[in-house]
Each structure stands twice: as structure tokens, then as C-alpha cells.
Amino acid sequence: MSSSSKKQKKQRNKAFYKYLDNDRIYSCSKCHTHLAKHEELISKAFQGRLGRAFLFNSIENVILGKNEDRTLITGVHTVKDISCVSCRSVIGWKYVYAYQEDQKYKENKYIVEKTMLSKENNWDEQY
């Protein structure tokens, strides 16, 4: 009666890499994992921990860290660190919650350090 059929459920630990099919891709500067399409870029005028940082609508292929309250130039925000799924470099953070009304637009958006980004295939910006 014992159902001892030990099905070896091999857990698929393979990290899932989403390949972004686009001409203008931002990738991880260290391992070139695709991170975001240019269309997802909202602003380049942000300040990261390492200098200039970009604000994105969405980011692929990242691992989210734990919620953390952080005091930034624009006040206290709840953020999560984001790291590259492949090389595990911390590339920026995700805004989870903004305490100030005028900062709410950043909720669920992503900050990525400029130095952690590279332009895949060196595309040019055409604004």
C-alpha cells in the first residue's frame, strides 16, 4: 500500500533568462545579461549609490532583495535591492513604497546604476 515511488523531482535550479528581442537593450555591464529595453527607460536624472542612475519602468533577469527602509535624497522609501540573476552583482534597487505623496510615481519602478549598465551592441540613442 505504500506509495514509495520515489519520483526524483529534480528541481530546476536553472535561472531563467529572458531574452529581450529588441534593437536597444540595456544589459549588465559585467556579464551582459539583458536587463531592460530602452523603451522602459523613464529618466536618466537619478542619483544612485555609485553616481548617476537610470529609472526604469521594468527590469528583467534580476533577483529582488528584502524590503528595506532607506533614506534617500528625496526622503524615506521602502526599497529592495536588485541584483543580476547571472553574476549576482547588485545593480540598483526597486522602489516599493514612497512615504511622500510627490514621490509615489516611483513606486514599483527600478533604479539601476549607470555604471552597471551597458548598451548591448553599442546602439545609439535617437531622441
Name residues contacting Zn ion, limited to 65-124 (CB under 5 A): 84, 86-87
Of 81, 91, 82, 98, nearest to 115 by C-alpha is: 91
CB nearer to Zn ion: give 27 or 109. Answer: 27
CB nearer to Zn ion: give 106 or 113. Answer: 113
Query: How far separated are the first and last CA of the chain, in Å rounded?
Result: 70
* Distance in Å, CB of 24 to Zn ion, minimum: 18
Distance CA 126, CA 106 (A): 25
CB nearer to Zn ion: give 63 or 96. Answer: 63
- Could you tell me if 41 and 24 are in contact, meaning their C-beta atoms sit under 8 angstroms apart? no
Contact flag: residue 42 with Zn ion (CB under 5 A): no
Contact set with Zn ion (CB under 5 A): 28, 30-31, 33, 84, 86-87
